[in-house]
Amino acid sequence: MSEITGMYELLDALEEALKSADLAKRRKLAQTIRAYEADLPDEFYWSVGAQSPALLHNLMSSIDATCRPILRSKARGSIRLADRKPEGNV
């Protein structure tokens, strides 16, 4: 039985990838985060809070698209439960 890959494994992999990135790129990312905090503090502090699904969605989509090989670079479609046709006799 294999182990489940969860949020903490994802965060560990992300941390390792960022640590191995070029120092100038890490500094640019830090500057961008600080600028985001300074320019939109309400949004920034909400985004690092427990209720931040929009930021998580965009972050995960960006990481996924960036890390995927070129041949698989198409974004995945959204799942829209409201548009699905009812099944059975509903």
Domain segments of the chain: what residues?
8-67
Gyration radius from the chain CA atoms: 18
Q: How many CB atoms lie within 10 A of CB 76?
A: 10
pLDDT in tens, 20-54: 999 999 889 889 988 999 999 998 888 888 778 87
How far is CA 42 from each of CA 36, 37, 38, 54, rounded to the nearest angstrom?
10, 8, 9, 14
User: How crowded is residue 65: how many other Cβ atoms within 10 Å of its Cβ?
Assistant: 13
More confident residue, 12 or 86: 12
The string of pLDDT tens digits covering residues 8-20 is 888 888 888 988 9
pLDDT of amino acid 41:
93
pLDDT (0 to 100) of residue 67? 76
